Structures are given as structure tokens and as C-alpha cells.
Structure 1
Amino acid sequence: MAKIQIFLLSLLINSLTLISPTLGALKQGFTTDLIHRDSPLSPLYNPSLDKWERVRKSIRRSFSRVSRYSLSSSVSPNDVVSEVKPARGEYLMEVYLGTPPVKQLGIVDTGSDLIWTQCQPCTQCFKQKLPIFNPRRSTTYKVQSCESKACQALDPNQGSCSRRDTCEYIYTYGDQSHTSGDVAAETFTFKSRNRGNTSSFPRISFGCGIDNSGTFSEEGSGLIGLGGGPLSLVSQLGSSIGGKFSYCLIPFAVEGNFTSKINFGTKGEVSGRGVVSTLLVQKSPETFYFLTLEGISIGNKRIPFSSSKRSSLSTNDYGSEEGNIIIDSGTTLTFLPEDTYSELSNSVKRIIRGTPVLDPSRTLDLCYQASRSLKLPNLTAHFTGADIQLRPDNTFINVSEDVVCFAFVPAQDISIFGNVAQANYLVEYDLEEGTVSFKPTDCTEGQ
């Protein structure tokens, strides 16, 4: 009997040793880089553009991105997800697939769920600089069955069953780009550039795309969905990260080889002095992270969040309900209802003593001549239970050497709290508690 107990104990120790990377991630959490697409560290970086051209392109991507949210009420929530435009996110993340691990680079998207990358053998693949993932060379790759949870999570118009009884997916995007292939499970490994730590997670479901074409960039490999739906990376990591992730975004004005960070599990917890929290509101589509913005203050004036129009993502009036704004790391600007924006911009105009000028690209409508004497106001965003102090770096953006513009814009039927407003905040998503927390932080610290 004693020999049997010793044998079983030995098996347990060996098993723990084999899966120790995952257990380490479970106990400690992990951190990896979020590389802004316009950073010199990004493969999407275009050295032929000056920094102002890159800023203007980022602003234009905001309008392209928000158009996918602004759909007519006749469109189903599943179609909202399928119309995400490829390579329109602002941040990239490295992930290593398979055993042995192969480096891939994906656009990070908190407004999307599906994870996918190009795979060999390609029926049709767009050109990419990194080696295309070859599942035949991985010992941990497994195609998912039609009865798998991942396959069942796909919308009927996005998934199908092959003659082999394996699950296949197809996503067609708003610009007619598409990706299709097998739904598979694989080991995902994440590395921290500065610390050299590695965390691995087995059996993550993803799209192994063998037919991909359209406007995808050759510097990337696919997309990493961080939305709230069941197929996203965050949802799949689930209990192993305690349903928590956070990020710290570096402000636009900061130059140099700094990277924003994304944290998972215990590394993603936000606590201490200055933390405020607001509730996530469960709405359809579940991909998006909805918060409730009650108003915005400037000086002693509080402007209520309100609109006389109806949201395309709701049956109620745009500004008359909980969950009236989406928080999104992939959108540069902050979009507000026209009524709220009009009152807010007029209040900003009354306070600023500066020289009004036109935006050189004619995109933003509240701009001033930049100078040392220009004093820009602080704002406060009043979320339910959480007041977020917004400094000028969160509300204004330099679009040229001598022009600074308000980074808030009007939207017809959808609101988004963009990444400029979130800069220098540690932003935590706790999906188990249903909260989003904010902590003022210098996001360049420790780099």
C-alpha cells in the first residue's frame, strides 16, 4: 500500500512539473507589451511619415473604427462583431503559438472576440513578414470538433461543420476582407520583453486561417480578440487569470522607446490609493464593454450625459440608460452624443483664453494655436461610482507643431471612451466582479 501511495505521489509531482508554466501564471499572473502601431518598436511603423502624419492617421482610424459600432437597429448583434475592420486597432501584441512556440503578431482588439492567425497550408494567404504558423510542426495543435464549446460559440453564419466533423469558421469584414479556416486548440505562450518571463496556456481556441485576403497588413499575422464574448482570449483564460486583465497606455505626447503594458491575472489587479471603480453593464452584444457615464464637469459646471437620439445598440434613447458608453482601447478619440458634445465644447471655448485655429486636416473642430501661455482645462468624467480626472493630455492632442485640438468629437448614435482619455491610468477589467477600475499611474515608470 505504501509503495502505491509513493507511486501516486510521484505521478502528481511529475504532472505538476509538466504544467508548471500555467500554474506559475495562475499564481503570479503575467505582463506583456502592448506596442502602439505607430511606435518605432512596431513593425507597422512607417519612418517615411513624420509624427504629425502618424497622429492624423490615428485620428482617421478612430472614425473608421467607430463606424462599425454605428449600425442601424435592424442589424443583429452578431453582425456587429463580423463587421470589425481588419488592422484598425491601435496596439499590437506578440504571442507564441504551439510546441515548439512560433512567434506571431496580432492586432489587439477589445471590441472583438475571435482570435485568429494565418496557417499553412494556405489556400490563399496575404503576405506576412513573420513565418506563417504551420500546425503540422506543433505537437499540441488539435482541430476542434463540431460539438466543441468553441464551435458552438460561433454564430451560425460564422461557423460550419466539415465532412470530417471538424469545426470551420469564416469571418467576412466590412471592407470585404475575409478569413476562414479551422477552429483549433493550441498552446499560447506570452513573453515579457523586459523581464524575460514566460507564461503558457494550453487548449486556447482560435481560428487557423488558410484562406485570408483583403486589406490586412503584412507586418501582422492576425487578430487577438479581448472582448467580453466566449471566444476572446480573456474569456478563455477565465479562472486561470481570475477574470482580470489591465493595461497602462502611454500618452501620445511621450516619445522614445516606451511601450504600453497589458497585465493578466494577479499582475492585472489594481489596488491602493486613488483607485475608483465603476460597474460593467451587461448588454448585447456581449463583446463590448459598456459603462455608464453620468456626465462631465469642467470647472464648476457639470454637463449631464444626454441625447435626444436613439442608440443603434439599444432600444432606448441614446443617453437615457445604463451602459451608455463603450470603453475601447482601440479607438483614439472619445465620442459623445451630439447634445452632450455641443454643451461641453461650448464650455471649453468659454474657459480657454487662446487663439482658435483650424485643424490642418479639417477633421477636429475645436483647435487652438499651441503655445507656452495656452492653459488647457482639466475635466472630470463622472462614471457611476467613479470620477475620473482628465488632464489636458487626456483631452487634447497635438496635431501639428503649433496646433492642439480637443480629442472629443460628436457621434450620431454611439459613445466611446477612447484611449487618449485613458492614458496614464492603470485600467483594470474584472470580469468576475463586473467592474472596471482606474488608478492614476505614470505608464512609463520602470521602463
Structure 2
Amino acid sequence: MGDSAIIFFVYTLSSNDTKASLKVVHKHGPCSKLNQDKTIAAPTPTEILLQDQSRVKSIHSRLSNPKTSGENDVKVIDATTIPAKDGSVVGSGSYIVTVGLGTPQKELSLIFDTGSDITWTQCQPCATICYKQMEQIFDPSQSTSYTNISCSSSICSSLTSATGITPGCASSTCVYGIQYGDSSFSVGFFGAEKLTLTPTEAFNNIYFGCGQNNQGLFGGSAGILGLGINVGGTKLAISASVFSTAGAIIDSGTTITWLPPAAYSELRASFRNLMSNYPLTSALGTLDTCYDFSSYSTISVPKIGFFFSSGIEVDIDVSGVFFASSISQVCLAFAGNSDAADLLIFGNVQQKTLEVFYDGSAGKVGFAPGGCS
């Protein structure tokens, strides 16, 4: 994906409803600094879809088995303990943002992840191990605005619900641990720091993990910015109950959109009917509606839109309809969940060119077209 995959977002970062915006770029696109490091290879379309399956499986597993008491959690004893079970979704997201952390601020490229509830970055002295990242690793001892979070604080206790793992304690400092569905993980101290988004927008006391032991498929980024929040002109005859059974989330780290089985079946049948003039070809991983456009100079693509209960329709840009491995294998970028009880996941391919607004304090999300070219 190139520049067409850029998204912009506005997110409420504090209780006073101050809003800020950041430019979000595809991790392997031409605008990404990570793309300049030629030793970090971009994943193939097949690898992207396999990672997607792992992430979706982890999201569904986590949300269908919510932890209420934490009695089955793995306790993190110190900063060198590796969490022994999945606690959240896959961390190898597709998009990154560049932010400033600390005072004086250090510029860091973080994976932008609306499906993850915790923000973390690698920190010195890397008590166990740090993977290779693009920028210099953050050193909290060199920041005048960094503070540790105590083990006894309610913020520390809340990590259980955010990560699925009971926090630990070392030298009176809260110790977090998070492991993702692909076995990537981060363990370290939990702290508060100043986060700078633009020259005029900064937020004090943003909670984040200062990773001392970090391993996995993070692609040269410095960590994760966790922002977890809980066809063809004819409206398909899909009952609203199909979507309300399990609910839905918008996730920047999931590539394609995963629909309830009944909804996907209707979409696929309608889409195939409208595209009957084009030859079908072999499936690409989970994507089973693929076309060979190698003999065509132009194609006509059916319009796809999402309708919300408030009567608002969000149209998907044509660039968000397909996911391709080549011109001879261009696939409908939607898949069906295996169970009707699994929630709908609105993926990042469908978010292309949309300006997405996250209002965490109000529990709302909004969309505007034409967010980028």
C-alpha cells in the first residue's frame, strides 16, 4: 500500500476534551521512515492475511472470555518475566504515527493500534532484551517529566483488564506485561510521561509501559500506541440482529473487515452477481472472492457502504473494496467470521481515505470522507 493508505484521526486524550490530530502512515509505505530501512522486509499479501487471522482469532477469544476476577492470570513477578499466555491482540499493526515522548522530547515511531489498550515503548537500560528499532531507544532517566506508577495505585490494578495479565511489582514500581496473539510481548515498568503530538499539542501524565524485555514482530517501530475503543446502491436484506448479537469494533491493526457469517454471505452473493462480467480466480488465504483483471484496462466496482442505527451511511472508498496480491488476483477485502457470536471487526483497508474521529470520553466514533488523497 502507498500513500492512499494514509488515515487521519482525532482522539480525546484527556478529560478536558482537548482534541488532537496525528498523521497516520502505512508502516511499509513510501511515507514511512521504517520503509527506509531496507533490512526490514515488507510482508507478502499472504503473510499479511495470516497475521490478520491470528489477530482476529485473538480478539474474538479475548472478548468472548472476559476476565473478571483475574484468578487465572499469569502474575508478572519482575521486569524479566515473560508472560506465559495471550493477553491481547496481535501487535504487528499496519500503521504508524510519530510522536514526541518525554522532556526534552524524543521522537518515536509507534504502531497505531485501536485494538490494543496499552501504550508502550522500549526503554533503556533494556534489562533483558530490546529488538532493533529505527530511532534511539527512549531513556526515562534523561527525561525530567517521567514518573513511575506505584504498585499500590488503582492505575496499576487496572492493567489486568487492559492486558489480561496481573501486574507485578519491583522496587515499589508497577510492572506490566502484555503478550500478543503471535507470541510477541513486552514487559517493563509502568509510568507516566509527557506526550507531544504537534508543536502546539502536548499532554502531561500519559500512562505508558517502559519496556525492558521486548520481542516480536514490531517491524522497527519503537512500540505501540494503544487506542482501544469498546452494495452497489442496494441495501442488503440483513437483519440488524445479525450485527447486534456480538457487536462491533473498529481496529487499525486488522487489515480486512470481518463480518458475521450471515452478513458476509449476503455481501459475497450480491458482489459476485454485480461482478459477474469479470473472471473469478483462486482464493487468497481467507479471501474467497477474487478476480483476474489482467485483461482489463478499466473496471466497474460496485459501491459498498455501512449503515448505522442513527441513519448515517459510511461509504467505502473504491481503494477500500479490494485487497490484491497482483493484477491477476484482486480480492474482495471482506471475510466471514466462523461464528455468529464473533464480533464484527472494521479493518484498516476499509478505513482508507476516511477521516476517523475517536472520542474516548464520550464513547463515540465518527467518520468523514476525503481524509486523504
TM-score (norm 1): 0.66
**Amino acid in structure 2 at the alignment position of 1:394:** G
2:176 to 169, 177, 183: 169
1:389 to 315, 338, 352: 315
1:304 to 213, 238, 260: 238
1:187 offset after TM fit, Å?
A: 1.3
Give unmatched runs, 5+ long, in structure 2: 1-15, 74-84
1:435 offset after TM fit, Å?
A: 2.6
1:48 offset after TM fit, Å?
A: 8.9
Indicate the residue corresponding to 2:206 in structure 1: 204
**Amino acid in structure 1 at the alignment position of 2:24:** L
Matches within 5 A, 1:227-376: 227-228=228-229, 289=230, 297-305=231-239, 319=242, 321=244, 324-359=247-282, 361-370=284-293, 371-376=296-301
SS at match of 1:155: helix
Q: Give the alignment's Cα RMSD to 1 decimal.
A: 3.0
Matches within 5 A, 1:80-91: 82-86=87-91, 88-91=92-95
Q: 1:442 to 1:208 in 2, by over 3 A?
A: closer
Indicate the residue corresponding to 1:419 in structure 2: 348
**Amino acid in structure 2 at the alignment position of 1:208:** C
1:159 to 161, 167, 171: 167
2:49 to 45, 59, 72: 59
Contact 1:353 1:374 in 2 (8 A): no
| Residue 326 of structure 2 corresponds to residue 403 of structure 1 | no
SS at match of 1:405: strand
| Residue 353 of structure 2 corresponds to residue 430 of structure 1 | no
CA deviations over 1:237-257 (Å, ceiling 9, x no partner): xxxxxxxxxxxxxxxxxxxxx
Contact 1:150 1:183 in 2 (8 A): no
SS at match of 2:61: coil
Q: In the aligned structure 1, how far is the partner of 2:242 from the partner of 2:337?
A: 12
Contact 2:88 2:116 in 1 (8 A): no
Contact 1:182 1:207 in 2 (8 A): yes
Contact 1:354 1:374 in 2 (8 A): no
Indicate the residue corresponding to 1:12 in structure 2: none
Q: 1:131 to 1:301 in 2, by over 3 A?
A: closer
Q: In the aligned structure 1, how far is the partner of 2:365 from the partner of 2:64?
A: 30
| Residue 148 of structure 2 corresponds to residue 143 of structure 1 | yes
Q: In the aligned structure 1, how far is the partner of 2:360 from the partner of 2:287?
A: 35
Give unmatched runs, 5+ long, in structure 1: 1-25, 192-196, 229-288, 290-296, 307-317
| Residue 70 of structure 2 corresponds to residue 70 of structure 1 | no
1:178 offset after TM fit, Å?
A: 2.6
Tell which deviates more after alignment, 54-63 or 73-82.
73-82
Q: In the aligned structure 2, how far is the partner of 1:105 from the partner of 1:72?
A: 27
Q: In the aligned structure 1, how far is the partner of 2:317 from the partner of 2:185?
A: 40
The higher radius of gyration belongs to 1
Q: In the aligned structure 2, how far is the partner of 1:209 from the partner of 1:177?
A: 13
Contact 1:425 1:442 in 2 (8 A): yes
Contact 2:238 2:266 in 1 (8 A): no
Q: In the aligned structure 1, how far is the partner of 2:149 from the partner of 2:297?
A: 60
SS at match of 2:99: strand
Matches within 5 A, 1:213-228: 213-217=215-219, 219-228=220-229
Q: In the aligned structure 2, how far is the partner of 1:27 from the partner of 1:432?
A: 7
Higher RCO by CA contacts (8 Å cutoff, separation 6 or greater): 2
Q: 1:76 to 1:363 in 2, by over 3 A?
A: closer
Q: In the aligned structure 2, how far is the partner of 1:102 from the partner of 1:152?
A: 28
TM-score (norm 2): 0.78
1:57 offset after TM fit, Å?
A: 4.0
Indicate the residue corresponding to 2:80 in structure 1: none
CA deviations over 1:152-177 (Å, ceiling 9, x no partner): 31118331233x32211122333433
Q: 1:412 to 1:432 in 2, by over 3 A?
A: same
Number of equivalenced pairs: 332
**Amino acid in structure 2 at the alignment position of 1:65:** R
